[in-house]
Structure 1
Amino acid sequence: MSRVLMVVSAADTLTLTDGTAHPTGFWAEELVVAHRTLTREGHEVVVATPGGARPTVDPVSLDEKTVGSAEKVDELHAYLQEIGSALDAPVALEDVEVSGFDAVVLPGGHGPMVDLAVDPVLGRLLTQADESGLVIAPFCHGPAGLLSATTDDGGFVFAGRRLAVFTDEEERTGGTGETTPWFVATRLRERGAVVEEGPAWSSFVVRDGNLVSGQNPQSSEAVAEAVLDALGASRR
């Protein structure tokens, strides 16, 4: 059994370029699919947030029009209730020891753009995790959290690494549009990451060594399966 650190945003509002306070948080499907897939295979998943604050689910991610059916909404609600104790009292990032984990998973929602992208504690944890060869798996907007990992001279720890992330096209057509304060894919490219893109709104996963990443909510299952594969490989 492996131990997986699931880093979740504690943000609940994203300020758009027009000054609007846009409700946000974590994306239900991404957290649920990753958590459920990993735990069903016997792995321990520890939820952590900045300061140990209770994370907020993005309300749009539980909207029937977004999710696709009332049945799927009910399924997501049920699982979030099932793991309610972990979400109500997450571990504080400040108290995490990377040496106690085998993987770090970062689900999305716009929340990571607000707090994880600039969290120095997360930056240190990700740097240590990468140096130790832990599986690091951000997906959708989760890769925004990678931006927190900087070198002593101001460089980007993940510069030159291949990854997938919610694309600018997807943000413009199905995210917060042109009022998005900044585009995660563009920012990662500016910092030196090699961003690869699949078709919009289709599952697309990139694996570069210990870094496993996915493009969008549709990639949730494939990311979780890739993490399982990477964890299995690390133990062989």
Structure 2
Amino acid sequence: MPRIAYLLSSAHEIDLRDSPNHPTGYWAEEALKSYEKFVEAGAEIVVLTPDGKLPVADPYGLEPIFHYPDADRDYFASVYRTFHHDPDDIRITLSHTTEQELMASRRIARLLSEAGHSEREAHTLISKAAKIAWSQQRKLVEVMVAEELTGGLSEQALRAAVAELEADSAALAQSRKAALDAIEGFNAPVSLASLSEQELQEFDAIFAPGGHGPMVDLYNNPDVGRLLEILHKKNATIASLCHGPALLLSAPDREDGQWLFEGYRLTSYTDDEEDQNKIGQLGMPWLLADALQNTGAIFDDAPYAWASHVVVDRNLITGQNPNSTEATAAAVVKALDLV
């Protein structure tokens, strides 16, 4: 049974330009989905933090806007692809998915179908309204009403669909928080600093989810560097997601004086994604993607922000953002021959 060092940040605060001591931590969805995937695959998981202190979920990552059900995310993806066929032209920002009601597309389409429209008709109507909302920075319901694209639905019914999505997202956020709180290892993590070289040798992989916490205590950390060096020498799987690749900046130099991951292709949360989120807009102390490239990585990101994107180069696995969680975890499971 492969043994995974599941490394979480124990940072609770990050100093931002406009908000010193801003609350931070690990990203809830990334941490939970990855953990559950590894357990399901049969891996042995040892939860670590750099100092053995309790990790906390980033409060920002627990907001309902980051917990839309997968069915709603997938339906909206099918909608926006109808008005942008070239990936280089697609720019779906965080404000599009969190402020413009576009994620309610599936629920409104369901109401249209119940009102007698075919699934194709409903999808076409929603896509036309979504394109206007997307391009003009307007809310979906307002567009449908103003542009007479309601398909016979009342404004009240449209707003009820949006409210239903918001309630389900809030419930999912609460459910995920409860599931994280129930994980024994998250409540009693092992201190990475306390482990001997022999104990570190027993791991077959390391995995670090994101959240802004890793930018506080997983980079420039000698104990993280010690673990990376030991696992890299045995060609063990080294995996991280979103801001988790900050741990790679703790890696020591090779015998030739180059960084341990010099010339490796990898990805992480991008500057564009950082510029769009509420925390990044408060002024990051440094940018992860830039730091990785400056250290010697070959940076490989998706054609557009928020797309699921995973890069595998030799024993290194990295995922770009929260939407890459499931694909990154699946890549780790495959690397460990658990499929």
1:22 is displaced (CA, Å) by: 1.4
Question: Corresponding residue for 1:27?
Answer: 27
| 1:213 aligned counterpart, secondary structure | strand
- The 10-residue stretch of structure 1 (71-80 or 128-137) with the greater mean CA deviation from structure 2: 71-80
Question: Corresponding residue for 1:120?
Answer: 222
- Quick one: which amino acid aligns to residue 195 of structure 1? F
1:128 is displaced (CA, Å) by: 1.2
- Counterpart-to-counterpart distance in 1, 2:259 and 2:54: 29
CA offsets, 1:76-118, max 9 Å, x none?
Answer: 12321220x2112101102332221111001110001111102
| 2:17 aligned counterpart, secondary structure | coil
How is 1:132-151 mapped onto 2 (pairs within 5 angstroms)? 132-151=234-253
Question: Corresponding residue for 1:9?
Answer: 9
TM-score by length of 2: 0.66
- Counterpart-to-counterpart distance in 2, 1:79 and 1:222: 21
How is 1:1-236 mapped onto 2 (pairs within 5 angstroms)? 1-18=1-18, 20-68=20-68, 69-83=169-183, 85-96=184-195, 97-151=199-253, 155-174=258-277, 175-177=279-281, 179-198=283-302, 199-232=304-337
CA offsets, 1:11-46, max 9 Å, x none?
Answer: 011101235221100001111011000001111111
1:188 is displaced (CA, Å) by: 0.4
1:75 is displaced (CA, Å) by: 2.9
- Quick one: which amino acid aligns to residue 37 of structure 2? T
How many residues align? The count is 233
- Counterpart-to-counterpart distance in 2, 1:193 and 1:177: 25
Aligned 8 A contact 1:205 1:214 in 2: yes
- Counterpart-to-counterpart distance in 2, 1:9 and 1:114: 8
| 2:4 aligned counterpart, secondary structure | strand
- Counterpart-to-counterpart distance in 1, 2:254 and 2:30: 32
- Counterpart-to-counterpart distance in 2, 1:172 and 1:209: 30
- Quick one: which amino acid aligns to residue 293 of structure 2? R
- Counterpart-to-counterpart distance in 2, 1:100 and 1:48: 14
- Counterpart-to-counterpart distance in 1, 2:33 and 2:313: 22
- Counterpart-to-counterpart distance in 1, 2:250 and 2:59: 26
| 1:232 aligned counterpart, secondary structure | coil
| 1:52 aligned counterpart, secondary structure | coil
Aligned 8 A contact 1:172 1:178 in 2: no
| 1:29 aligned counterpart, secondary structure | helix
- Quick one: which amino acid aligns to residue 221 of structure 1? E
Larger Rg computed on CA atoms: 2
Aligned 8 A contact 1:10 1:111 in 2: yes
1:178 is displaced (CA, Å) by: 6.0
- Counterpart-to-counterpart distance in 2, 1:156 and 1:56: 31
Aligned 8 A contact 1:47 1:86 in 2: yes
Gapped runs of 5+ residues in structure 1?
none
- Counterpart-to-counterpart distance in 2, 1:82 and 1:173: 32
Aligned 8 A contact 2:181 2:187 in 1: no
TM-score by length of 1: 0.94
Identity, in percent, stands at 42
- Quick one: which amino acid aligns to residue 94 of structure 1? A
- Counterpart-to-counterpart distance in 1, 2:64 and 2:262: 38
